[in-house]
Structure 1
Amino acid sequence: MNQTVHPAPKPARKRGRPAAVPADAADSGRTNDPERTMADILEVATAEFAAKGLAGARIDEIAALTRTSKRMIYYYFESKEGLYVHVLEAAYARIRRIESELHLENLEPERALRTLVAFTYDYQLANPDFIRLVMNENMHRGEYLARSTTIRRLNVPAIAAVEEVYRRGVASGAFRPDVDPVDLHMSISALCFFNVSNRHTFSLIFGRELDSPAAVAARRESIVEMIVRHVRR
């Protein structure tokens, strides 16, 4: 499934590195729109890393699918690992950007929490590549995530949004006052994440049809209700 991936900022160049665009970039006619070129590379690389992991993905394949070259990819991202970090940054930037557009501050606390949980469920279900990237990075014990200050910065507003909704709920008397906002965020993520990451094995083991519209809607409502009841006074 293709996703629109917003490009991360172009990395700073090492001192003394030539600023000239590679000859094959000029030949391809892509030098007029480097941002589009980077976005195309990131979109294809996202699918490749999600499907094959860091070890299995090949720069040659990414170059072929984007009609660019290895030289151009290295020009923009410096290395395979650098491209992988940029893919992670773009993936987190996209979900956090859309979260910010929910305008939870304009909703009463329980409605805001329901909206956030439902969004998380819907987004992760519709973007399995994001789940696979996170699973792959966990296999690396967060090694490449740790290299990015951008991702850590992106996740600060996510926790702040949960905390703001929860605090308003406590102040209004709707929520109990002994829930940690980070733990609440983890619980929301865990329920929605498992719904995608384990759906195939769970479906086979227990003989449940999880992909039908009715099953998707029922699971969505169940997760929303579990979270709301967890914090409700």
Structure 2
Amino acid sequence: MTSRPSPRRRHDAEAARADILAAALSEFADYGYGGARIDRIAAASGMSKPMIYSYFGDKDDLYAAALREAYVQIREGERTLNLSNLAPSDAIRALVEFTLDHFIEKPWFVSMLNTENLRGGSTIRVIADLTEIQSHLVTEIGVILDRGASEGAFRQAVDPVELYITIASLCYFPVANRHTLKSVFGRDLNDAAQLDLRRGLITDMVLAWLEWRE
């Protein structure tokens, strides 16, 4: 009979994987794929290189796992918003605010997207369950949009994917370009007042479009 790992060992393995992924996210975000080093990931996670290879495989596999984890974390954060329990306008406002805050508080997310796009999306195309990871958000936004439309609060027939791309775009640009924007325009997204202004502007833009009717 094959012995089963104890709950303690399973927990230890899960904690080890989480530590490695956290270190890998930081490493790939800071140095890109080409500059990332397993040695530094091992040192930052407190794990040995052989242990990292045993959990994830080679550098390509670890990068793919870290990229997947980046999407898992933002989708898990969105689930905690309980958007379906909010009024349609409040749900969109909460989603916008969360998206901008997530990009700012977890800067490795934007950096990972930049890295993967520079690589032509070669890794993200082969993450088998990525569509499933994304599907809950798309479905939930669709329900909110349908409810808003049926209540007369939103325009009809809004594509939830297109709406999310728009929200993510408006949140992504000022975060991805925060250093150049600060130098060129003197707008510092790390300033609390400037961040509050940006949240409000993005939310107002999105809701103004959703609520606009001819």
**TM-score, structure 2 normalization:** 0.90
Question: One-letter code of the match for 1:111?
Answer: D
Question: Shift in Å at residue 97 of structure 1?
Answer: 1.0
Out of 42, 45, 52, the residue aligned to residue 73 of structure 1 is: 52
Letter matched to residue 135 of structure 2: V
- Residue equivalent to 1:199: 178
Cα offset for 1:207? Answer: 2.6
Gaps of 5+ in 2: 1-8
Give the length in aligned residue pairs: 204
User: Aligned equivalents of 2:189 and 2:80: distance in 1?
Assistant: 29
Letter in 2 for 1:176: R
- 1:32-88 CA deviation, whole Å, 9 max, x = no partner? 822211111111111000001111101112112223222111111111010011111
Displacement, 1:31?
9.3
2:28 paired with 1:49: yes
Candidates 70, 95, 101, aligned match of 1:116: 95
The structural deviation recorded for 1:106 is 1.1
Determine if contact 2:88/2:144 at 8 Å carries over to the other structure: yes
Q: Which has the higher helix share?
A: 2
Matches within 5 A, 1:152-191: 152-191=131-170
- Residue in 2 that maps onto 1:16: none
Output the CA distance in 2 between the equivalents of 1:34 and 1:99: 26
Indicate conservation of the 8 Å contact 2:174/2:181, yes or no.
no
Cα displacement (A) at 1:178: 4.3
Aligned-partner Cα distance in 1 for 2:103–2:141:
17
Q: SS of the residue aligned with 1:210?
A: coil
Pairwise CA RMSD: 1.6
Q: Which residue of the partner structure matches residue 19 of structure 2?
A: 40
Distance (whole Å) between structure 1 residues aligned to residue 178 and residue 84 of structure 2: 33
Tell me, in whole angstroms, the C-alpha distance in 2 between the residues paired with 1:220 and 1:72.
42
TM-score scaled by length of structure 1: 0.83
Distance 2:96 2:10 in 1: 42
**What SS class does the counterpart of residue 211 from structure 1 fall into?**
coil
Matched, 1:62 2:45: no
CA distance in 1, matches of 2:152, 2:11: 57
Deviation of the 1:136 alpha carbon: 0.7
Q: Unaligned regions of 5+ residues in structure 1, if any?
A: 1-29
Displacement after TM superposition at 1:148 (Å)? 0.6
Query: CA offsets, 1:75-120, max 9 Å, x none?
Result: 1111101001111111111111121121111111111111111111
> Cα gap change, 1:140/1:128 in structure 2, threshold over 3 Å: closer, same or farther?
same
Alignment equivalent of 1:150, drawn from 115, 129, 142:
129
Displacement of 1:230 in angstroms is 1.1
Name the CA distance, whole Å, in 2 between partners of 1:70 and 1:180: 45
Q: Which residue of 2 is the match for residue 94 of structure 1?
A: 73
Maintained 8 Å contact 2:33/2:63: yes
1:122-145 deviations in Å (ceiling 9; x for gaps):
111111111100111111121111
Task: Give per-residue Cα distances to partners, 1:173-232, cap 9 Å, x unaligned.
Answer: 111114322111100000111121011111111233332111110111001101100111
Runs of 4+ in 1 over 4 A off after TM superposition: none
